[in-house]
């Protein structure tokens, strides 16, 4: 299982909300149509990343066990959902105004600690007022 993440401008998020199938092109396709969609949305290679979802959920469970808390499921603090399923539930998003606060939550903090590319993407999204769209495949 893989957590796919992409940082998008507000305009690009609006386009993805209207046409969620664009996520397929951003995350999974590698053809001319995908290249065009990526360019049309203004997505750079550094705007797309991901990490092993099972490692992330395992780390959260281990932390919960160590602190005596109930089992912790990953909680990304999503602003909303998109009509797109990458395999394990709907894609979700954080609006640009919610990204900075979400970076304070445990799930995103662990994700950033586990993967340098994800950490860089999250920092850039926060600094550049971008939305995050994410889904598990």
Give the Cα separation of 27 and 50 in Å (integer). 10
Mean pLDDT for the stretch of residues 101-116: 91
**Given this model, what pLDDT does residue 71 score?**
64
Other beta carbons within 10 angstroms of residue 26's beta carbon come to 20
- Whether 55 shows a pLDDT value over 70: the answer reads yes
Task: Give the model's confidence band at 103: pLDDT under 50 very low, under 70 low, under 90 confident, else very high.
Answer: confident
**Tally of domains in the chain:** 1
Question: Domain limits at 82?
Answer: 2-136
Distance CA 32, CA 124 (A): 27
Identify whether the C-beta of residue 6 lies closer than 8 Å to the C-beta of residue 45.
no
The CATH number given to whatever domain includes residue 23 is 3.40.1760
């Amino acid at each position: 299982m893989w957590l796919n993440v992409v940082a998008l401008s507000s305009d690009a998020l609006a386009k993805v909300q209207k046409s969620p199938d664009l996520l397929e092109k951003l995350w999974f396709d590698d053809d001319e149509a995908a290249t065009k969609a990526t360019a049309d949305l203004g997505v750079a290679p550094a705007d797309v990343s991901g990490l092993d979802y099972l490692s992330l959920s395992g780390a959260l469970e281990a932390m919960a066990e160590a602190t005596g808390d109930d089992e912790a499921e990953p909680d990304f603090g999503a602003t909303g959902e998109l009509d797109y399923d990458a395999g394990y539930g709907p894609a979700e998003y954080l609006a640009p105004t919610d990204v900075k606060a979400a970076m304070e939550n445990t799930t995103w903090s662990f994700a950033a600690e586990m993967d340098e590319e994800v950490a860089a993407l999250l920092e850039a999204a926060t600094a550049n007022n971008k939305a995050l769209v994410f889904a598990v495949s």
